Structures are given as C-alpha cells and as structure tokens.
Amino acid sequence: MRVFKQIIIWSVVWAQTSGPQSVINAQVAEGKKTVAILDFEGRGISQMEAATLTDRLMSEMVSTDAVILVERNQMNEIMEEQGLQQSGCTSAECAAEVGALLGVQNMVSGSFGKLGNTYTVDAKIFSVETGATIRSSSKTHKGEVDGLLTIIEIVAWELVGLQAPADLLAKVGGGPVAVAEAPKKAKKPMSKGMKRLLWATILLGGGGYGAYAAGLFDVAPSPLPEPPTLPEG
C-alpha cells in the first residue's frame, strides 16, 4: 500500500509539471527537493483566510522554481484515504508522518496569528527523514489581513533559501534604503593668528599646497601668484 501511494503522488507531480518523467528526474538531479505544504493553522483568523494565505504560499513557492511541489488537492485525497485531516495535523510528528506517507523529502508547516491589529506568520520547512528544521521564517504585519498576501510571498522565497524579488520587498518597505549624506561640519572663522600662520606658510615656500597639507584648505588650491606684501601690524 505504501508503494502504491508513492506511485500516486509521483503521478501527481508528473501531471503538475506537464512534462515527461525525464523532466522530473532532471529536476531532482539538479538538487530540487519534493515538498508538500500543510494548511497553516489560523489563530485569530478564519480558516478560510488561513487557507487562502496557504494557497498563496504554494503558488509563490512554485514561482521560485526551486522545489517540486505536491498539489494540495491530491495531498488531501491521499490523507483522507488514510483517515488523516490537515486541520488536525498541527504537530511536527503528524507533519512528518504525512510527509512519509506522501513520499516527499521536505514538509512545510506553520501558523497565522492575530493580536489586536497585528498579524504574525510563522513557517518552517523541515526534513521528513530526520525531522530537523531546514529553514524557518517569522514575520509581523500591522494593518489589514490582506497585507499578509505579500508577506507570505516573501516567506515562500525565504523557505527555499532564495532572496525575494525586489518588487516584493519594496511593497513592505524592504527595498534598498537610501543612505543620507552626512552633513558637512561648519568651519569656524579663521582667527588673526591663523591668518598670519597661513601667510607665513605661503611665504616660506609652501604655497597653497603647504596650507592644504596643514589642513587649512579642504581642496588643494591652484598655484598662487607671487606673494603680496604683508600688511604691517
């Protein structure tokens, strides 16, 4: 029965990729892992909202082209045949059991939460074989629930170990940050003693470059003409 179920799930993967089995084999050879995503648990949001956000996570994970994703409908069908339901599968042990049943290498599970007008997303991808967490992502969003759509798209990229596209990051203010130029320090007026020192430096042969080297000018000046006669006093 276990072998039969694995044959079914690989048939689903084949249909999802719309290509011959050799294409799937090539994807696996490239290092792409087979992944299944459980419906995220909703804490403070409706199950319909949680399911919609989970669908968006699946769609974006497919867009990354970094994994081979099992379609959720087919996964539900196989789980129901085994007397399992996603809504009650929230523990790591249950998720690992489902992953083993499906014959996938990695599983993704997580939850959405709400406290006041602040929403949270907690997600992780872990190995079915070892149970070890491969990557995890936690996000916070303040505002309307539909703002989580962009957040969950970014989470999808992070779970597969890739940088999210710039347009996604820009939507949540995570794009390139402009660095403000440091204000220039205002220069203090030159005292009479400093003026005399400046002229002494010029007359002794340093010229404008001597004054520049002494830190009196910010930019090296052009060569000065013949020094003028110093005023008395």
Q: What is the CATH number of domain 2-171?
A: 3.40.50.10610
Q: What is the pLDDT of residue 171?
A: 87
What distances in angstroms separate CA 209 from CA 191, 194, 198, one per listed residue? 20, 16, 11
Domain ranges of the chain: 2-171, 184-233
Percent of the chain residues past pLDDT 70, beyond the cut: 59
* Structure-token pair, residue 163: 């940088």
More confident position, 88 or 104 = 104
Q: Is the pTM of this model over 0.75?
A: no
Q: What is the pLDDT of residue 39?
A: 87
Nearest to 55 by CA among 32, 78, 33, 86: 86
* Structure-token pair, residue 141: 């969003």
More confident position, 218 or 147 = 147
CA distance 39 to 123: 11
pLDDT tens-digit readout, 109-143: 999 999 998 999 999 999 999 989 999 999 999 99
Answer yes or no: is pLDDT of 167 > 80.
yes
Mean pLDDT value across residues 202-209: 53
Percent of the chain residues past pLDDT 90, beyond the cut: 39
Phi, psi torsion values for 227, nearest 5 degrees: -65, 140
Q: What is the pLDDT of residue 10?
A: 45
Q: What is the pLDDT of residue 201?
A: 57
Q: What is the pLDDT of residue 191?
A: 64
Q: Is 165 left (phi over 0), alpha (psi -120 to 50) or beta?
A: beta
CA distance 71 to 169: 27
Q: What is the pLDDT of residue 58?
A: 95
Q: What is the pLDDT of residue 150?
A: 94
pLDDT tens-digit readout, 10-38: 444 444 444 444 444 444 546 799 999 98
Q: What end-to-end distance do the CA atoms of the chain give, in Å?
A: 109
Answer yes or no: is pLDDT of 145 > 50.
yes
Q: Note the Cα 201 to chain centre separation in Å.
A: 57
Q: Could you give the 3-state DSSP secondary structure of residue 109?
A: strand
Q: Could you give the 3-state DSSP secondary structure of residue 118?
A: strand
Answer yes or no: is pLDDT of 79 > 90.
no
Mean pLDDT value across residues 68-96: 78
Q: What is the pLDDT of residue 132?
A: 92
